[in-house]
Amino acid sequence: MRTIVFVVAALAAASVSRRAAAYPQYQLDSEKTCTGCHLAPDGGGILNENGTNTAETTAWRGGNGQWMYGMSKPSWLDLGGDVRGAAGYVNAGASSAAGYPMQAEVSANVHWNGFSVFAIGGLRRPQDQGSAIHALWSREHYVMWQSNPEDHEGFYIRVGRLLPTFGLRLAEHVVYTQRYGGYPLYGEVYAVAASYVKDAFEVHAAGFIHDPIASAEEHGNGGALYAEARLGDHAAVGAEAKYSASDDAHRTYGGLTGKLYLPGPKLQLLGEAQVIRQDFVAAASDKVTQLAAYALASHPFGGGFLLDVGAGHFTEDTRVKGLFRDCLDAQMHWFQTSHLEWLLSARVELLDLGSHTNGGYLLAQIHYRL
Amino acid sequence: MGRMRCFSLLLALLVACGAEDPRPATVEVISVEILAPACGAPQCHSTSTNQSGYAFDTLATAKAALKQLVGTGGGERHNLMEVLTANGGKLMPPDAPLDPQDITLIETWINNGAKGL
């Protein structure tokens, strides 16, 4: 029993939490751009009208996909929110039960002509022995201007706290290219970000400083760049770069993404590979090169189901022979309604091509979108 | 003679294994390269959450945590090694344990006196 309690506490709001994110698994199947379904130029957060319609048609029993099932609100106001939790077991040498909250956030967007103010806030784990007030925080809050507010294409400028656009941006942060790469959970920073989104291509650039008040994953200041070009209706390639300089290390990220949708079998393939270079400030001679890669095959099928099968690779330090890990993931999403998603996710992690088994997990998640 | 040959072979293997890891066993490498990404996530042992009173997200916080977890070093298995190598629910990190080579490097640093704290 003590073991269970310990693991529950250790994993509280921890390892497999997700953010309010987009599902790039659907990108080339329906809309080419994130703005086809989301207010933000890089996806995530509040859905637009087409996004709620897509949620309705994708789900088993769609219902009314609008906020709170169509509750009336002023036309200048968009509202959203997400609640997530998970339970299951993890295996890190021995199996242990695990259960934890992952997300409880509400979001609001006030818009007027091309300008809008967006904020998402909610709960996070407070500091041990600290004030409960620290459990309240806002991951993102920014002012945005867009050139064509009635269209999904155009310029977007954002100033505030946000997560710079980078890579595939899958919902599960445990994806190796996000966990070890340039798009980590709680990696939000204060940034000036510019995006140009067209059906044919999109470019995102951001200059940022780390949050000096609320501890975040990103401790450095720098910039991020992501560009993606669509090749026809069902393929896209992207390139990414990021630089971050903190008191401890200077990190440079470079990578490529690829997306391919096969209409016949309704199969979407997603891939990302990153090279990460770290120069440690306190140990100038110690320069580390890391490799992170992830590939995902995704297949939607009747009744609101979406099956993901993924594989990841992470080389922690290319100088050290055998210092890498791989994982195999399987996830079954079930969009029961346009507001309710069930997710069964499993991972097996291996070290050094299976010479060491590093465990894994099997978790059932529930996600309710307001 | 056979035992001597086996011992020599074992020694050679150990030396060869050690040579595969060129990283210096310093508190900087252990903190920034190993513990910060594995343990110092914001929702775990970061400055903001400080779970169990430990943070590993920066070199400064990691040094403070290691002072508590390692003490003066000297070859014993201290608390840090216990949680990194425990076979069961107390193993840390709980979802993706460290690579054995990382654990070996940390142990080497401890056995060398846990310098740099």
pLDDT for the residue B13: 42
Report CB contact under 8 Å: A319, B44: no
Facing A282 at nearest CB: one of B28, B51, B95: B28
How far is the first Cα of chain A from the last one, in angstroms, to the nearest whole number? 35
Report CB contact under 8 Å: B59, A180: no
pLDDT for the residue B1: 43
* Least-confidence region, from A124-133, A187-196, A316-325, B25-34: A124-133
**Which residues of A are less than 8 Å from B36 in CB distance?**
248
Contact between A177 and A236 (Cβ < 8 Å): no
String of DSSP letters for B61-78: HHHHHHHHHHTT-SSS--
For residue A282, what are its two tokens?
């306190």
What confidence tier does A90 reach under pLDDT thresholds 50, 70, 90? confident
Contact between A287 and A279 (Cβ < 8 Å): yes
Q: What is the pLDDT of residues A281-309, one digit of tens each?
A: 887 677 899 999 999 999 999 899 999 99
pLDDT for the residue B10: 42
CA pair distance A339, A120, nearest whole angstrom? 18
Looking at the predicted structure, is the pLDDT value of residue A331 above 90? yes
What confidence tier does A116 reach under pLDDT thresholds 50, 70, 90? very high
CA pair distance B107, B96, nearest whole angstrom? 19
Report CB contact under 8 Å: B99, A323: yes
Candidates B45, B48, B85: best to mutate against A (most CBs of A within 10 A) is B48
pTM of the entire predicted model: 0.88
Report CB contact under 8 Å: A215, B48: yes
**Which residues of A are less than 8 Å from B16 in CB distance?**
none
Facing A219 at nearest CB: one of B24, B29, B57: B57
CB of A356 less than 8 A from some CB of B: yes
Residue B21: closest CA among chain A residues belongs to which residue?
A320
Contact between A188 and A44 (Cβ < 8 Å): no
For residue A290, what are its two tokens?
């890391």
What confidence tier does A358 reach under pLDDT thresholds 50, 70, 90? confident
Q: What is the pLDDT of residues A9-56, one digit of tens each?
A: 344 434 444 555 668 888 887 778 999 999 999 998 999 999 999 999
**Which residues of B are less than 8 Å from A216 in CB distance?**
42, 48
- Cβ neighbours, 10 Å, residue A198: 15
Is residue A119 classed exposed, middle or buried when 0-12, 13-18 and 19+ CB atoms within 10 A define those classes?
middle
Residue B36's H or E segment, with its range, is: helix B36-39
How near does any CA of chain B get to the CA of A192, in Å? Answer: 23
CA pair distance A96, B32, nearest whole angstrom? 29
For residue A16, what are its two tokens?
């497999």
Q: What sign does the dihedral A38-B41-A325-A89 (CA atoms) show?
A: negative
Per-residue pLDDT averaged across A220-230, rounded? 97
How near does any CA of chain B get to the CA of A144, in Å? Answer: 27
For residue A367, what are its two tokens?
């996600």
Three state DSSP letters for A161-206? EECCCCCCCCCECCCHHHHCCCCCCCCCEEEEEEEEECCCEEEEEE
Cα distances from A337 to residues A2, A106, A123, A162, B25, in angstroms, run 37, 19, 25, 29, 53
Residues 280-309 of A with CB under 8 A from B: 280, 282-283, 286, 288
Report CB contact under 8 Å: A217, B21: no
Facing A215 at nearest CB: one of B20, B42, B101: B42
CB of A125 less than 8 A from some CB of B: yes
For residue A90, what are its two tokens?
């993890």
**Which residues of A are less than 8 Å from B116 in CB distance?**
none
Average model confidence (pLDDT) for chain A?
89
CB of A138 less than 8 A from some CB of B: no
Facing A358 at nearest CB: one of B37, B46, B97: B97
**Which residues of A are less than 8 Å from B87 in CB distance?**
93-94
Report CB contact under 8 Å: A186, B36: no
For residue A68, what are its two tokens?
């709170």
For residue A27, what are its two tokens?
């990108």
Comparing C-alpha atoms, which of B57, B81, B54, B50 is closest to residue B65? B54
Q: What is the pLDDT of residues A242-292, one digit of tens each?
A: 999 999 999 999 999 999 999 999 999 999 999 999 998 887 677 899 999
**Which residues of B are less than 8 Å from A125 in CB distance?**
43, 49, 51
ipTM of predicted assembly, 2 dp? 0.82
Per-residue pLDDT averaged across A67-96, rounded? 91
Give Cβ neighbours of residue A213 (< 8 Å, ≥ 6 apart): none
Per-residue pLDDT averaged across A179-206, rounded? 95
Q: What sign does the dihedral A213-A124-A363-A303 (CA atoms) show?
A: negative
CB of B73 less than 8 A from some CB of A: no
SS3 A56: helix
How near does any CA of chain A get to the CA of B85, in Å? Answer: 10
| Residues making up chain B, counted from first to last | 117
Contact between A187 and A177 (Cβ < 8 Å): no
How near does any CA of chain B get to the CA of A178, in Å? Answer: 12
Report CB contact under 8 Å: A319, B37: no
How near does any CA of chain A get to the CA of B33, in Å? Answer: 8
Which ranges in chain A belong to alpha helices (H)?
2-11, 49-58, 176-179
Report CB contact under 8 Å: A10, B92: yes
Q: What is the pLDDT of residues A122-152, one digit of tens each?
A: 987 766 666 666 678 899 999 999 999 989 9
Supply the DSSP symbol for A4: H
How near does any CA of chain A get to the CA of B46, in Å? Answer: 7
- Cα Rg, chain A, nearest whole Å: 20
Facing A323 at nearest CB: one of B57, B91, B101: B101
